[in-house]
A and B are shown apart, each in its own frame.
Chain A
Amino acid sequence: MPAPIRLRELIRTIRTARTQAEEREMIQKECAAIRSSFREEDNTYRCRNVAKLLYMHMLGYPAHFGQLECLKLIASQKFTDKRIGYLGAMLLLDERQDVHLLMTNCIKNDLNHSTQYVQGLALCTLGCMGSSEMCRDLAGEVEKLLKTSNSYLRKKAALCAVHVIRKVPELMEMFLPATKNLLSEKNHGVLHTSVVLLTEMCERSPDMLSHFRKVWLLVPQLVRILKNLIMSGYSPEHDVSGISDPFLQVRILRLLRILGRSDDDSSEAMNDILAQVATNTETSKNVGNAILYETVLTIMDIKSESGLRVLAINILGRFLLNNDKNIRYVALTSLLKTVQTDHNAVQRHRSTIVDCLKDLDVSIKRRAMELSFALVNGNNIRGMMKELLYFLDSCDPEFKADCASGVFLAAEKYAPSKRWHIDTIMRVLTTAGSYVRDDSVPNLIQLITNSVEMHAYTVQRLYKALLDDISQQPLVQVSSWCIGEYGDLLVSGQCEEEEPIQVTEDEVLDVLEGLLLSNLSTPVTRGYSLLGEILNRIKKVVSVYGSSIDVELQQRAVEYNALFKKYDHMRPALLERMPIMEKTASNGPTEIVQTNGETEPSVPDTKHPPLVTQPANQANDLLDLLGGNDVVPVIQTTLPTKPASAGGELLDLLGDLSLSGGPAPAPVPSVPVSQPPFLLDGLSSQPLFTDIAAVIPPMTAYNKNGLKIEFTFERANPNPNIAVITIHATNTTEADMTEFVFQAAVPKTFQLQLLSPSSNIVPALNQGSITQIIRVLNPQKQQLRMRVKLTYTHKGLPVQDLAEVNNFPPQSWQ
């Protein structure tokens, strides 16, 4: 069996691999070789093989099959083996593996080895990854080594004891006697590790802490050691940039902090040395600043006198002006900790802190932002907010959410005036609207509701902002809501706003297509409270959503339609309520809409084929009468139909108000059910029926085979473009006409809407009539023309007829 390749050679070979696959192949090959070598229990090369395994492990490959081999290496007599074995144990084993415990005996033996470097290995391994069981078993050995005069071992034993205490805190007591003499050592390694050990004990046990204070008089000892460090001359062994053993100084300062915390006597005893360190430490290099930093932390934490505290904060203030970013960063972090307790002192450095908002470093900016918010108070709110809003404008997206929330919070607490508050909110919404948190929107709305006198101002500003930019969702939400709520205030002074509002809403609808949108229904709901003229448009818009994919919108649309149609009298009451904001997916008007026809009342006792496949309630497309298209049946409640083949437009501005109608068979009164009220009569409960109806004469549209259809006209709403036609169908023959369906089509420039008929049967001999309402929108005021299609069953035979109606009285469309 050839000797396994050397570690360095393996490393060299693996590094020549050009692809991951190639590397993997090499590794697998070598692992196989190592495995077989392990199987042969080869002592000579075990060390080499494990070393190679450790390298492969570092590359990310599994190496668990080498765990036991590490144990064998540890048990070996050769120092080389032990070194690699312990390294392997530290890398491959941890207390989760059972194998780990097998080490205990080896470590115990090695702790008593005659060679200090072997003992060192054992202490190191135990101190890095010893489990609680191991610590329990071996604590005694560690304690013994803590008392040795060998400083090389003593320092390692001290840190090992720290680990034991961390794992098994109850064992702390047993190390107490041995710890006592540690501080009298001259050796810096021992001193340092002793301070760490004492720190660990103090942190874990208040009893120990007071014991150290009162019985051991630890503070004066530490003060003396620190003083010697500072005052002593140059010591090449421990010098770092002119400072003697900064690591030890920092550790002592930290222990002093713990000892002085909430203890007056101890704090007093260390006052002088702290002042000395604070004033004499060289600050040109990082190392000096590290010591100053620790000193400041200690001063702030103990019961220091005020002069010392001011000194500490001033040091932090100087740090803020330091060129070194790291120093600025720790200064901001420390100031954040102290801002609660020493608010006034920190306030003095406010301008420097605010300048840090403009720092290029991300970590510093974040700290500065947090600190700035902590410093905001009633006195500086205006100035600070200006800076913070400027920051919000220019900061990275990762900050915007937190900054916006902070601004809202601060504004809420310290706003000098309502108007300022609202302006501030608006500024946030317009600049960082998309980053504002979800819960901010309801909070804002609540705030706006509460500032009653500002409603008009608020809604005006929001509306203007909305005109400028509708991409910021929270802004849109809040604006829509406000426009809905206070829209009357918005338009009261300016009539011309009526149309712009229309445009806005449609724009909003179009743009928000496909975006997450909340409360689409809300503006519509509230919107109609504004103006009667725009009611029709709102109805149309709402009806679109009656068939939207989103159930939420669909439901709302259907509800609102019902509202328009049947429950006018309830509208005032409902106007008072505020729906909760929620995010719902929006459907743009041009999206394909699922059929809603299925939810419609079932087809009554007719034999009309169910035509539901397409968007049923999508009422007609605009028809091209002139193009000679077939008459497209207008939607009827119970007879959903296909949309026109021509165009295939799905956009339905007419909507289908009959959606919300009840089951078809229910007789519809001949009087139109709901008439849009006048402007401010939105609150009125009565449908208004003006006497315009009398002005337009009725006409006979069709008269053939005993079937006569008369049109009567109303223009009961203020919109002059809509004609409401009621058809009256009567039958002079002796037989009833059953399954009567009236369908109508109008030219492209018109829009037609057919409501439910009163029934399907035209009784014989004029005993009754069918009435049905047609509403025609004629915005271009063109001559009204209509093509009608009639189908019915008479005396058992189906009858169908087409006719053109051209004799509309001019008043009906002018």
Chain B
Amino acid sequence: MMRFLLLFSRQGKLRLQKWFTPIPEREKKKIVRDMTTMVLARKPRSCNFLHWKDLKIVYKRYASLYFCCGLDAEENELIALEMLHRYVELLDKYFGNVCELDIIFNFEKAYFILDEFLLGGEIQETSKQVVSRAIEASDMLQEVRCCPVGTDLRSVFPSS
């Protein structure tokens, strides 16, 4: 499983942090520090994999953002790269040519998209379209001012 997913800028500023195991706040901060230090120190054409404690660290840089995840030792690093790429694609589809500013100003949306793609550190949906549709429907639901108990919204918002 994935233990955590971090997004940070080239200056080491955190843009998103998703933790899939319970960790004390202080330790989270330390892990973030370690990851940013390690990843930012990597030379440009190094391979995307690192070893840190007993975890595999897979990272990839997309423009000004680093996507960095920590995996259990038995995970497949190459498919993890694909996972990161898929998340970027989902963000791109949602925001349209996503850039770091989108994620800064709409961080909660970035989390919502992530929560439709991963759950408990595992992939829950392998289809791009299904994820996108779910996000769109959820967004629509936000427009409804009130959602009283009993309203069967399935008639209004067909599930995908």
Contacts and interface: CB of A to CB of B under 8 A. Distances in A.
Nearest to A285: B82
Contact of B126 (A78, A94, A131, A189): A189
Interface in A106-141: 113-118, 120, 123-124, 127-129, 131
Contacts of B142: 79-80, 83
A78 B151 CA distance: 12
Interface in B110-130: 111-112, 115-116, 119-120, 122-130
A246 B82 contact: yes
Residue among B48, B49, B77, B79 facing the most chain A CB atoms (10 A cut-off): B79
A117 B134 contact: yes
A27 to B, nearest CB: 15
B81 A286 contact: yes
B95 to A, nearest CB: 14
**Binding site of A, secondary structure by majority: helix, strand, loop or mixed?**
helix
B148 A364 contact: no
A55 interface: yes
Contacts of B22: 94-96, 129, 131
Given A80-B142, A129-B22, A325 B154 contact: no
A360 B82 CA distance: 24
Contact of B76 (A83, A124, A290): A290
Contacts of B148: 77
Residue among B51, B77, B83, B125 facing the most chain A CB atoms (10 A cut-off): B125
A58 B108 CA distance: 11
Given A114-B149, A328-B47, A362-B46, A163 B120 contact: yes
B119 A60 contact: no
A233 B70 CA distance: 34
A114 B160 contact: no
Residue among B46, B47, B120 facing the most chain A CB atoms (10 A cut-off): B120
B94 to A, nearest CB: 15
A58 B78 contact: no
Interface in A255-299: 286-287, 289-291, 293-294, 297
Contact of A79 (B14, B78, B115, B147): B147
A290 B82 contact: yes
Interface stretch (A237-245, A548-556, A758-766): A237-245
Contact of A115 (B51, B112, B154): B154
B96 interface: no
B29 A60 contact: yes
Contacts of B153: 114-115, 117
Contacts of A290: 76, 78-79, 81-82
Contacts of A192: 123-126
B138 to A, nearest CB: 5
B25 to A, nearest CB: 9
Interface of B: 14-17, 20, 22-24, 29, 43, 45-51, 76-79, 81-83, 86, 104-105, 107-108, 111-112, 115-116, 119-120, 122-130, 134, 137-138, 141-142, 144-154, 157, 159-160
Interface of A: 7-8, 11-12, 15, 51, 54-55, 58-60, 77-80, 83-84, 87, 91, 94-96, 113-118, 120, 123-124, 127-129, 131, 150, 152, 155-156, 159-160, 162-163, 188-189, 192-193, 196, 237-238, 240, 245-248, 250, 254, 286-287, 289-291, 293-294, 297, 325-330, 360-364
